[in-house]
Amino acid sequence: MKTFKDYLTESTNDSIDIQNLLNESHDLTEEQETAIDNAVDRIMEEHNNGKDLEVIMEEIINEGILGSVLGGLTGFALGKTVGKAIAKVLGIQKGALYDLLTSRLIGAALGAVLGKRI
């Protein structure tokens, strides 16, 4: 598959191919559509209550950032303990998978993702 850079450096410039490349789209999943609908509903509800659009957007962005940070910190603090419990349930006592499950970095990453979704 050609990249956009390949198209730019080619001597023959077929504008239809470039246009197709730039207009390429992907369908949204049900989860993504629901999240978008919820965000739009929340924005409209807050706007109808008299809030400024910029204030509403700032609140939504700050909630996402705060959730990620708090989730990451929680994952960093509790990740090793949770990882040990998961390893114990799976019967893993040592090795690379045990090290991965009990890693604080992995715990922080999982916590950040979970915090972002909540």
* pLDDT tens digits, 28-70: 678 877 877 887 788 788 888 888 877 777 777 777 676 677 6
**73-86: per-residue pLDDT in tens?**
676 666 677 778 87
Q: Kindly report the three-state secondary structure assignment for every residue of 57-113.
A: HHHHHHHHHHHHHHHHHHHHHHHHHHHHHHHHHHCCCCCHHHHHHCCHHHHHHHHHH
pTM for this model (two decimals): 0.37
